[in-house]
């Protein structure tokens, strides 16, 4: 079906438009035209709300709606997580597994394939956060599974995870250069995190080709006057992108503001969201606005992507167009998919969010439906 979407304002990922219509056919944008230029073959759909924008992308969350993927390695867990994502305006997501056994990772690969073969939507692949991290910065990760990588084990993950393993968070100081090169050669997005790297070690990792870093400030060596650490290396490298958990709990809003001034378009949002689970190896207890381990260690957020955008605008003072890019275009850029995601342009996915003047989410449109 060919549909022309008309909204009061349209944000195309770069600029705002009024008096325009988005032409969509077969789940893709075919053009952005003046309202008077809509072809007769297109069905017109007026969208209620203040603003229509590209839908969001979340590169790190662990589950949703009561299903933690690593605890319940099932298609149903992925379906529940997708529904959670949609509730926050996110139509593309990377399911994440924290440090665990290799056996569980291998089963995770299989379940992702089952989800896809059954027509499951929105899932970009699997993000392994660990196990090759630094135990000194383990955070809520299980130390018994933390290890240094071997070529044999990494080859197994790459072989069994081919087409599924899309991203891996690791500590560069724990990994030999040749092993990082193995991941990069297989087009796995390597992200530096849960790391106690010195500034020099972190910079070396970035020069080796590591393109990203995971949840700025959390579980990484801090910026200090005589020891710039991982945070200093991220600030100082003009190519590395980094995620941030914008809830005012994982990171103070003032720290996000300062980081945004330094990093500009290299900073993007993730939710790092978990769900309450009171059994299994990873237990998350809900406390009003966050999740912790039973011992009180901060273990995940209760964020949605639309909440990240609202916090950025209302608590930090980031202009709305830029906050929207941090939730859509910039994550797409990490994936190398900025031509088809995070923008409204010819050939892009017809995934949109519709918001009111208070940045409340009114509607999520997936593949033009």
193-246 pLDDT tens trace: 999 999 999 999 999 999 999 999 999 999 999 999 999 999 999 999 999 999
**CATH number of the domain located at residue range(s) 56-335 in this protein:** 3.20.20.140
Residues 6+ apart with CB under 8 A from 145: 99, 100, 101, 130, 131
Determine the topology of domain 2-53+344-365 in CATH.
Urease, subunit C; domain 1 (2.30.40)
Q: Which of 272, 289, 351, 356 is catalytic?
A: 272
For residue 95, what pLDDT is reported? 98
Residue pLDDT, tens place only, 6-31: 999 999 999 999 999 999 999 999 99
Question: The pTM is what?
Answer: 0.97
Closest CA to 211 of 238, 194, 191, 193: 191
Q: Is 272 a catalytic residue?
A: yes
User: Would you place residue 143 in the very low, low, confident or very high pLDDT band (cuts 50, 70, 90)?
Assistant: very high
Q: Where are the domains of the chain?
A: 2-53+344-365, 56-335
Average confidence (pLDDT) over 66-83 = 98
Q: Is the pLDDT of residue 158 over 90?
A: yes
């Amino acid at each position: 079906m060919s549909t022309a979407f008309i909204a009061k304002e349209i944000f195309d990922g770069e600029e705002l438009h009024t008096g325009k219509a988005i032409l969509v056919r077969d789940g893709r944008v075919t053009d952005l035209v003046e309202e008077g230029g809509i072809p007769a073959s297109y069905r017109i759909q007026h969208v209620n709300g203040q603003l229509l924008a590209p839908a969001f992308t979340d590169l790190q969350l662990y589950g949703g709606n009561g299903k933690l993927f690593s605890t319940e390695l099932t298609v149903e867990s992925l379906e529940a997580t997708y529904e959670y994502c949609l509730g926050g305006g996110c139509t593309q997501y990377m399911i994440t597994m924290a440090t665990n056994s290799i056996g569980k990772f291998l089963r995770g690969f299989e379940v992702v394939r089952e989800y896809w073969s059954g027509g499951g939507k929105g899932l970009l692949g699997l993000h392994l956060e660990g196990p090759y991290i630094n135990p000194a910065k383990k955070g809520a990760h299980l130390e018994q599974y933390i290890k240094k990588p071997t070529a044999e084990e990494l080859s197994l993950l790459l072989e069994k995870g081919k087409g599924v393993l899309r991203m891996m968070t690791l500590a560069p100081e724990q990994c030999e250069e040749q092993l990082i090169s193995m991941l990069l050669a297989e087009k796995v997005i390597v992200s530096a995190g849960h790391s106690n790297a010195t500034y020099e070690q972190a910079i070396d990792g970035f020069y080796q080709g590591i393109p990203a870093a995971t949840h700025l400030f959390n579980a990484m060596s801090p910026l200090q006057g005589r020891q710039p650490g991982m945070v200093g290396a991220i600030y100082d490298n003009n190519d590395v992108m980094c995620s941030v958990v914008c809830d005012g709990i994982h990171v103070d809003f003032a720290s996000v503001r300062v980081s945004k001034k330094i990093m500009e378009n290299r900073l993007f949002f993730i939710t790092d969201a978990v769900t309450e689970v009171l059994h299994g190896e990873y237990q998350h207890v809900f406390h009003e606005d966050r999740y912790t381990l039973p011992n009180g260690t901060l273990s995940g957020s209760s964020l949605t992507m639309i909440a990240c955008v609202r916090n950025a605008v209302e608590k930090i003072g980031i202009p709305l167009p830029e906050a929207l890019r941090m939730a859509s275009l910039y994550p797409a850029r990490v994936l190398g998919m900025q031509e088809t995601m995070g923008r409204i342009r010819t050939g892009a996915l017809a995934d949109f969010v519709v918001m009111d003047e208070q940045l409340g989410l009114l509607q999520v449109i997936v593949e033009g439906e």
